[in-house]
Copies of this chain bind each other. A is one copy, B any other.
Amino acid sequence: MDVAAYMTELGQQARAASREVARSSTAVRNQALLATAAALDAARSELATANSKDLERGRENGLDSAMLDRLELTSQRIDAMIEGLRQVAALPDPVGVITDMTYRPSGIQVGKMRVPLGVIGIIYESRPNVTVEAASLCLKSGNATILRGGSEAIHSNQAIARCLKQGLSEAGLPETAVQVVSTTDRAAVGELITMPQFVDVIVPRGGKGLIERISRDARVPVIKHLDGVCHVYIDSHADPEKALKVAVNAKTQRYGTCNTMETLLVDDEVAEDLLPLLAEQFRSKTVELRGCRRTCAILGDIVEATEEDWHAEYLAPILAVKVVDGLDGAIEHINRYSSQHTDSIITENYTRARRFLTEVDSSSVMVNASTRFADGFEYGLGAEIGISTDKIHARGPVGLEGLTSQKYVVFGDGHIRT
């Protein structure tokens, strides 16, 4: 197979389809989403058959149990995909929203119209339900999509792709508005990320290695989410009860998520009082603590943290703990080691809360709240295609609006510039 020629064809088709999707009405795009939901519901047995092929091959290829779990399309997961499509259909349409329409001294009227980005390339790993999630958000926001899932999920993804095509076709949209790459040749990724003439933005979803590789080689803008090294800083003016509650929640509510706290910072002034209470709570949840020297001096029986621990995204019941010299020490540590994902201060002090919000340069900054809230659903975006740790275009949870841009619209009445 000539992968370059195949990807060029997908690109050309996506570009053409993107224009049709961009000018389609809200109702038509919603109809395509609902028809896809119905098609998935009707295709449960085909989906199960396709998925069992992938699972079988996965077991033969020695995938570990976590990967096999992510690969599996259980009946509940199909239910969730269907429900997700219905939820996306129910969200307000961002496309065409006009804002800030004002008259200028010249007499022209200028405003901004929200418009789709065009063609979005999604590159992801084993979970086949991402195919539906990502395609639905891109379609709702008026974009065409090219999806490249993991080779281990190829049969499941192709079965899902057939449902998407059916949904698009029933709504009168081009089937090429959502295309799932049918080759497992890795060269397809290299092509996808180097076709700026056909693809407007790439959203990679997966491990840090994948995302770094894509960012390095891409010739198309990438909305990327690297890692989540999130901090909670307990200030000397913290309410101890809130501090304990939030710190424990931020670490232990779920271990494997990117908004989980990985380093706890405690103000020197309250470290002797609070660290033993915190340690007790974490010990009861079997969280391993790795402390700085001062932390070790107070707690005695824990492992000393190394430089690596301050950079670590454990995604596991391990927590780095550091005693810092007040707010300045906390901000310095965070701006050095944070991945700029989500950081929270626990304090009752107005001025310190304000300084933390201003001076911590992360995509979500919080006061007296658990880092676990950093999420498109919790923020009210309705859905989320990912969490951006980039600085341009979109920071933090990216919903439908992050898949659009704004163009200027100008109304005149024969106005000319003089």
Contact = CB atoms under 8 A, between A and B. Distances in A.
Nearest to A113: B357
Contacts of A414: 239, 241-242, 245-246, 368-369
Majority DSSP secondary structure for residues of A touching B: mixed
A391 interface: yes
A128 interface: no
Contacts of A362: 407
A163 to B, nearest CB: 29
A416 B249 contact: yes
Contacts of A380: 102, 104, 110
A281 interface: no
Interface residues of A, number: 70
Contacts of A201: 391-392
Given A239-B414, A373-B415, A405 B378 contact: no
A363 interface: yes
A277 B193 CA distance: 48
A117 B391 CA distance: 6
Contacts of A417: 249, 253, 370, 372-373, 378
Of A23, A365, A397, A414, the most chain B CB neighbours within 10 A belong to A414
Nearest to A117: B391
A106 interface: yes
Contacts of A150: none
A80 interface: no
A359 interface: yes
A122 B96 CA distance: 33
Most B CB contacts (10 A, CB to CB) among A108, A363, A364, A413 go to A108
A103 to B, nearest CB: 9
A415 B108 contact: no
B253 A408 contact: no
Contact of A368 (B357, B406, B413): B413
A297 interface: no
Contact of A361 (B22, B108, B253, B370): B22
Interface string A240-259: 01100110011001000000
Contacts of A405: 391-393, 395
A395 to B, nearest CB: 5
7 contacts: A19-B361, A104-B380, A245-B416, A361-B407, A372-B416, A373-B410, A396-B408
